[in-house]
Amino acid sequence: MTADVAAAARFYRENFGYETTFEADWYVSLARGQHELALLDPDHPTIPEAYRGRTAAGVLLNLEVDDVDEVHFELAGRPGIEIVLSLRDEDFGQRHFIVAGPDGVLVDVITPIPPVGDFADQFVD
């Protein structure tokens, strides 16, 4: 849920290539390949009353891409983009960076890389 459905939809379309599949003033459905992202007004009557008024703060959205370096190059310095974790390799098998998204959502942009050390043994075939 997001405080500004239109602005959040624009953020994901303009920065991450999502395409709109349905759009209303209270709900937008976005698709990127086989993945879908739904954005919803937190005060809409379809939200159970006890949960209305909340937004998605505290969410980490993983977005896997073919070339994280290319996406980082495209987004770095772009107005409205705040990179909160710089591009780096992780021993657990990711090359990634994180940007701040709408409503406190973090977008972790990832390209898988081979894990090293003990992490390699933790993957399930």
Q: Which of 34, 46, 36 is nearest to 9 (CA)?
A: 36
Q: Which pTM value belongs to this model?
A: 0.86
Return d(Cα 101, Cα 108) in angstroms, integer: 10
For residue range 21-78, what is the model confidence (pLDDT) as tens digits? 999 999 999 999 998 999 999 999 999 999 888 877 788 999 999 999 999 999 998 9
Domains in the chain with CATH codes: 1-47 (3.30.720.120), 56-125 (3.30.720.110)
87-100 CB burial, b ≥16 within 10 A, e <16: beeeeebbbbbbbe
